[in-house]
Amino acid sequence: MRAWETLDTVETAEGRMELRRRGARDFVITVAGRVLMSSMAHLTEVAVAEIACGEVAGRESPRVLIGGLGMGFTLRAALDALPRTGRVVVAEINEAVVRWCRGPLAPLTDRATMDFRSKIVLEDVAKVIAGAGKQPFDAIILDLYEGPRRATQGREDPFYGPMALERTRKALTPGGILAVWSEEPDAAFEKRLRTGGFKVERCKPGKGGPRHSVYLARPHKVR
């Protein structure tokens, strides 16, 4: 078994973030020694984009927002599911992640970040959602590290709290969809979605493995 090679390191508020490689196509991104994502396991990251984009792919020029670039697998899946007229905006706060996806990770996703339909912005996705205004999105996909977690998030959470979900609902076009990757099921998050005017569906792609889930939320009323 080959040893892991550290390709790059950057300091973040959560600790040291590293890109590591083993062999030609095995990569992990770690923060403070914890594995955040791996090129060997990305089934739900692909599924969250496939499902959301599949619902809006038939629209004339679908606009999709992805929160979190990760290793680019979600972006690749979104592009594959959308027509040539589709556009994908990816909000990523860490420049190093963008650099890695355009560098050593690029072959894993057929250079998704360089597709003419994609645009990467170095910005907090919560700010992009809040600023959607007259340019709402047909689908909003949140693929952020752990996803919703009751143990660490409160009502003021900028992504999964009630006010954040209200802003997200307003940033969707009629018939749009919110898709959220989650490390594990979260009943409190499901309740906030329903209270906030969404119809909620939770699915678990694949069989066995981690308890990763995909939440699909569709607005069903206007306040």
If asked whether residues 19 and 49 sit together in one domain, one would say no
- pLDDT, average across residues 27-46: 90
If asked whether residues 75 and 62 sit together in one domain, one would say yes
* Neighbouring C-beta atoms of residue 132, cutoff 10 Å: 19
Residue 45 has pLDDT above 90, yes or no: no
If asked whether residues 15 and 125 sit together in one domain, one would say no
Please give the distance of CA 66 from its chain centroid, rounded to a whole number. 5
Residue 223 has pLDDT above 60, yes or no: no
If asked whether residues 78 and 146 sit together in one domain, one would say yes
| 194 contacts: CB under 8 Å, gap ≥ 6 | 200
Residues spanned by the domain of 1: 1-40
If asked whether residues 27 and 59 sit together in one domain, one would say no
- pLDDT-derived band at 41 (thresholds 50, 70, 90) equals confident
**DSSP letter (8 states) at residue 81:** H
Mean pLDDT of the chain: 90
Percent of the chain scoring above 70 in pLDDT: 93
If asked whether residues 80 and 11 sit together in one domain, one would say no
pLDDT at 186: 85
If asked whether residues 85 and 16 sit together in one domain, one would say no
pLDDT in tens, 131-188: 998 899 999 999 987 778 764 556 778 899 899 999 999 999 999 999 998 888 888 8
CATH of the domain at 186: 3.40.50.150
If asked whether residues 120 and 73 sit together in one domain, one would say yes
User: How many structural domains is the chain composed of?
Assistant: 2
DSSP helix/strand/coil, 50: helix
Higher pLDDT, 112 or 23: 112
If asked whether residues 131 and 74 sit together in one domain, one would say yes
If asked whether residues 99 and 86 sit together in one domain, one would say yes
Percent of the chain scoring above 90 in pLDDT: 69
If asked whether residues 11 and 99 sit together in one domain, one would say no
pLDDT in tens, 177-217: 999 988 888 888 899 999 999 999 998 776 544 567 899 99
**DSSP letter (8 states) at residue 147:** -
- pLDDT-derived band at 97 (thresholds 50, 70, 90) equals very high
* Neighbouring C-beta atoms of residue 26, cutoff 10 Å: 13
